[in-house]
Amino acid sequence: MTDTAERVTRESSVGRPLRRKEDARLVTGRTSWTDNLSAPGMLHMAILRSPMAHARITRVDVSAALAQPGVVAAFSGADLADKLGSMPCVWPVTDDIVMPAHPPLAHEEVRYVGDAVAVVIAGDRYQAADALEAIEIDYEPLPPVLDMEAALAEGSPLVHADAGTNACYTWKLATGDFEQVRAKADRVMKRRYVNQRLIPMPMEPRAVLAAPTGPDGELTLWSSTQIPHIVRVLLALTTGIPENKLRIVAPDVGGGFGSKLQFYPEEVIATVVAAKIGRPVKWVESRSENAQATHHGRDQIQNLEIAATNEGKILGLKVDLLADMGAYLMIITPGTPLLGAFMFNGIYKMEAYDFTCTGVFTTKMSTDAYRGAGRPEATFAIERLMDDLAAELGVDPLELRRQNWIEANEFPYSTVGGMTYDSGNYEAATARATELFGYDALRAEQQRRRDAKDPVQLGIGISTFTEMCGLAPSRVLSSLKYVAGGWEHATIRVLPTGVVEVVTGTSPHGQGHVTAWSQIAADALGVDPDDITVIYGDTAQAPYGMDTYGSRSLVVGGMAVLQAAERVVEKAKLVAGHMLEADPADLEFRDGAFTVKGAPGSAKTIQEVAFEAFTAHDLPDGVEPTLHASSTMDPQTFSFPHGTHLCAVEVDTETGMTKIRSYVCVDDIGNVINPMIVEGQVHGGLAQGIAQALWEEAVYDDAGNLVTGSLVDYLVPSAADLPSFTTDRTVTPSTTNPLGVKGVGEAGTIASTPAVVNAVVDALRPFGVTDVQMPCTPERVWRAIHGDGSGGDRAAEGSIAWAGDRTESTAGGRTEGDETGARP
């Protein structure tokens, strides 16, 4: 009814803002979220969670719960220990990494507030929740471990006593000789930035429904997950249920942002319990549980040194990270910070790079991928450093960037981080962004307001970011010790009646793959996008896939769709040649029809060919019936989108309040399939990145309680908090795939955080401020102005959640002077 405005021609569906095919059911409430589903005889599961950050479980008695109304079963961790196995981590980043056991239902020790300890299965969710209260459980408290630096100190209490240390691993990467460039540099600027812990908070909390479906142990698991295919493999390995008896379905999924790129204890527990009692079992996460027990993101302390000449040439960068793993290693917990390891150098040329990351266990929820996963942290570090270095050198921060970035004519460029950037044009994106932003006029206004000592100061922040998309070439993953590959699969079937099915291994949850894949296939096959159905998210229907995360879906999955479509056309050509009594080599395929070159009267449409291939009455020798083809695409390398983001903030120096006045970004993500979807991805990404800069922080108190455990305390921004963004694009096609695409899902999040913080700090530079710790709350800004030039001594001070004696886990925020400067 509404998409007629953009009715596309056959030739060019790609590149058009086609309205989404997904939307009809979403705007009318005809949805299939996991919690909407039910199965005959279904029971509800509720989970008892640890109120202690660290404790030994000395007694669990579920018998009183069993006597509650409606209760069918109740289990402690010990009851199920032999069936549940241990949760897997698939990225053991070093040979000597400490990989502790991770029971889905704790039975000896709990290691974070929210650790699951017992379950109740009852007739409805109210009965299940009530019965939890009847479970008796005794804990013997153990000391919590909350501060990464303290956790590594001699004599610290241990999260995993048998490991003998809280250090999980140390991973290094070095190019060139940093010590040498440090020695020859005019200046070495040191900084210590804190990239705080975040909670992903997709609007749909997680949910699972496990249903035994056959007499031989067959079981279907519906789960609000980004990764049904990976869940299937891991569930088989964890529970011992043969993989070919497991079907995993990701129905409508209400956002993920990495938090549903996970294999969760609840998936295992529901499966095992449903199999044990022989009835379908549903579990739906509350928002509070989501805050406590769905993985968190970020949480790094970054010790940085950048070496440069007095003329502003960057010579080298040293990065020393502490990365909070939380209590256990979930699927890619240890690898997540390393996704940034190759990107700290950003878009800049330098001689030497020295990277070290130490993973640290604490008694908190595990961290893992959250939108950007490692790359926002890297981008934050380098872009904050560039602004600070410019301030030290007394030059314009854009000029300093220009002086050091890779120039358009230098691509492909092998960086000091060990990556080969395929293409880019930082000059063009920056020129467009400064024009849209009115950079010079804003700088002039800033000077006037500084001179006038305006109580509301104007700050301008810059972020010229790049990121790594298209996870991932399987051989690269292998070299990084990741246990799986990074390919993606697609199958295309042209059905006898001429309509098309695209089967994809990606698993969309808001990204619009149904529309975008239809556009790609429509162009390649010469059919109408409305004649295409996209099938996904069900291992029975789309059996091969590596799912959706890391801005990979288009670059890898979309390419698989294109390649499968091309193979369909190749096969169809053989059949068409036979039908037209022509040599297939003499055929042309355009607008969905084959014609003999030079004989335009003859034509067979792809639909006619499909019917011919279906009847199979008269196929050429060696051609099998039906018209379908598959592609399993393993990318050869990554792609590197980039962009220039500019943020202007007004900071009220009397109240500390920051208001975004304008935000301009010009992203270069190569070619685009659907510009409307791309713009939406950028908007949403910006909102999350800005939220890290200004509002969001997961705060634990000194007893290890999560004090930002609901949407009351954890400040996901509303419409009233955010401005309208000015977005634009430049187009430098990727050279690593025929579509020329680069990936956009994470760009806005990666780029925006440092742009905003740079703007806040820029506003405060006249006050001698060099850093404000994120989130830049009014209190922290005020303290920075009135205090000692830092954002407060300890981390949580001035955080949005006051937590009494606070955790020191993200302690820091105090910046150091230059090499010679003493730490305050």
Binding residues for ligand FES (CB under 6 A): 203, 255, 510
For residue 657, the minimal CB distance to another protein (Å) is: 17
- Helix, strand, coil abundance in the chain, percent, nearest 5: 30, 25, 45
Comparison of 143 and 255: residue with beta carbon closer to ligand FES? 255
Residue appearing with tokens 């669990």: 60
By a kind-dependent CB cut-off of 5 to 8 A, residue 31 interacts, out of ligand FES, another protein, none, with another protein
Beta carbon nearer to another protein, 78 or 716: 716
Sequence-distant (≥ 6) Cβ neighbours of residue 638 within 8 angstroms: 419, 422, 468, 469, 470, 471, 472, 473, 476, 736
| Partner in contact with 205, chosen from ligand FES, another protein, none, beta carbon below 5 to 8 Å by kind | another protein
5 binds another protein (CB under 8 A): yes
Spatial separation of the C-alpha atoms in residues 255 and 271, rounded to whole Å: 23
Q: Is 509 in the site for another protein (CB under 8 A)?
A: yes
Phi, psi of 152 (to 5 degrees): -90, -10
Which is closer to ligand FES, CB of 24 or CB of 203? Answer: 203
Distance CA 331, CA 369 (A): 9
**Cα 321 from Cα 319, distance rounded (Å):** 6
Residues of this chain, 233-252, that bind another protein according to CB under 8 A: 252
Residue 166 to residues 146, 161, 323, Cα–Cα distance (Å):
11, 9, 12
**For residues 748-777, which are near another protein according to CB under 8 A?**
748
Q: Does 257 bind another protein (CB under 8 A)?
A: yes
Q: In the set 679, 771, 797, 816, which binds another protein (CB under 8 A)? A: 679
Based on CB atoms, which residue is closest to ligand FES, 424 or 510?
510
Based on the shown chain and the rule CB under 8 A, indicate whether residue 510 belongs to the binding site for another protein: yes
User: Nearest to ligand FES by Cβ — which residue?
Assistant: 203
Q: Which residues contact 311 (CB under 8 A, 6 or more apart)?
A: none
DSSP sequence for 449-517: HHHTT-SEEEEEEEEEEE--BS---HHHHHHTT-SS---EEEEEEE-TTS-EEEEES---SSS-HHHHH
Task: Kindly state whether residue 720 participates in binding another protein, applying the rule CB under 8 A.
Answer: yes
Using CA atoms, how far residue 816 sits from 191, 192, 385, 824, in Å, is 6, 7, 12, 7
Smaller CB distance to ligand FES: residue 510 or 689?
A: 510
Question: How many chain residues bind another protein (CB under 8 A)?
Answer: 60
Q: How far is the CB of 741 from ligand FES (least distance, A)?
A: 23
The token duo for 344 is 């700290």
Q: Does 254 bind another protein (CB under 8 A)?
A: yes
Of the two residues 183 and 203, which places its CB atom closer to ligand FES in the complex?
Answer: 203
Alpha helix segments (H runs only) across 695-777: 747-764
Instruction: Work out how close the CB of 358 gets to another protein at its nearest, in angstroms, rounded to a whole number.
Output: 31
Q: Does 288 help bind another protein (rule: CB under 8 A)?
A: yes
Closest CA to 765 of 461, 559, 485: 461
Amino acid symbol at 115: D
Nearer to another protein, 23 or 454 (CB): 23
DSSP H/E element including 518:
helix 513-525
Fill in the DSSP letter of residue 373: T
Q: Which of these segments, 551-559, 639-647, 676-684, 735-743, binds another protein (CB under 8 A)? A: 676-684
- Decide: 803 and 700 in contact? Cβ < 8 Å: yes
Rounded to a whole number of angstroms, the minimum distance from the CB of residue 281 to ligand FES is: 23
Per DSSP, the residues of 376-406 read HHHHHHHHHHHHHHHHHHTS-HHHHHHHHBP
Rounded Cα distance between 810 and 791, Å, is 13
Whose Cβ is closer to ligand FES: residue 719's or residue 822's? Answer: 719
Instruction: Say if residues 285 and 207 touch (Cβ distance below 8 Å).
Output: yes
- CB 240, CB 671: distance < 8 Å: no
Whichever of 510 and 812 has its CB closer to ligand FES, that residue is 510
Contact between 820 and another protein (CB under 8 A)?
no
Smallest separation, CB 204 to ligand FES (Å): 8
CA gap 810, 536 in Å, rounded: 40
Measured from the CB atom, is 41 or 620 closer to another protein? 41
In the region spanning residues 449 to 478, those forming contacts with another protein, defined by CB under 8 A, are none
Query: Is residue 676 near another protein by the rule CB under 8 A?
Result: yes
Burial, 497: exposed, middle or buried (Cβ in 10 Å; 0-12, 13-18, 19+)?
exposed
- For the bound state, the minimum distance from the C-beta of residue 93 to another protein, rounded and expressed in Å, comes to 29
In angstroms, the Cα distances linking 177 to 183, 187, 422 are 10, 16, 25
Q: 719 vs 822, which CB is nearer to another protein?
A: 719
The position carrying tokens 């379905």 is 249
Query: Does residue 710 belong to the site contacting another protein (CB under 8 A)?
Result: yes
**HSE value, Cβ hemisphere, 13 Å, CA-based, for 750:** 35
Sign of CA dihedral 181, 187, 193, 195: negative
> Segment near another protein (CB under 8 A), from 431-439, 601-609, 683-691, 795-803?
683-691
Among the listed residues 614, 569, 619, 627, the one whose alpha carbon sits nearest the alpha carbon of residue 594: 569
Smallest separation, CB 413 to another protein (Å): 32
Q: Does 27 bind another protein (CB under 8 A)?
A: yes
Q: For 799, which DSSP code?
A: -
- Kindly tell me which of 334 and 510 has the beta carbon lying closer to ligand FES: 510
Comparing CB distances to ligand FES, the nearer of 255 and 584 is 255
Residue 28 binding: pick among another protein, ligand FES, none (C-beta 5-8 Å cut-off by kind): another protein
Nearest C-alpha neighbor of 388 from the set 193, 183, 196, 195: 193
Residues of this chain, 76-135, that bind another protein according to CB under 8 A: 124-126
208 makes contact, choosing from another protein, ligand FES, none, with CB < 5 to 8 Å by partner type, with none
CB of 220 or CB of 674, closer to another protein: 674
Tokens of 654: 């009397």
- Three-state SS string across 521-574, please? HHHHHCCCHHHEEEECCECCCCCCCCCCCCCCHHHHHHHHHHHHHHHHHHHHHH
**Between residues 49 and 604, which has the closer beta carbon with respect to another protein?**
49
HSE at residue 9, side-chain half, CA atoms within 13 A, is 4
Q: Are 670 and 641 in contact (CB under 8 A)?
A: yes
| Choice between 31 and 478, CB closer to ligand FES | 31
- Which one of 155-163, 209-217, 243-251, 674-682 is the stretch in contact with another protein (CB under 8 A)? 674-682
724 contact, one of ligand FES, another protein, none, CB 5-8 Å limit per kind: another protein
Per rule CB under 8 A, is residue 630 in the interface with another protein?
A: no
Binding to another protein in span 29-58, by CB under 8 A: 29-31, 33, 35-36
We find the least distance from the C-beta atom of residue 663 to another protein, in angstroms, to be 10
CB 26 → ligand FES: shortest distance, Å? 8
State the binding partner of 533 from ligand FES, another protein, none, CB within 5 to 8 A by kind.
Answer: none
Q: How far is the CB of 712 from another protein (least distance, A)?
A: 5
Q: Which two tokens stand for residue 637?
A: 């390398």
> Cβ 602 to another protein, closest distance in Å?
41
- Least distance CB 801 / ligand FES (angstroms): 19
Q: Contact letters (x/-) for another protein, 182-221, by CB under 8 A?
A: -------------------xxxxx----------------
Question: Which residues contribute to the site for another protein (CB under 8 A)?
Answer: 1-3, 5, 19-20, 22-24, 26-31, 33, 35-36, 124-126, 201-205, 252-255, 257, 286-288, 509-512, 676-677, 679-681, 683-688, 710-712, 716, 718-720, 722, 724-725, 748
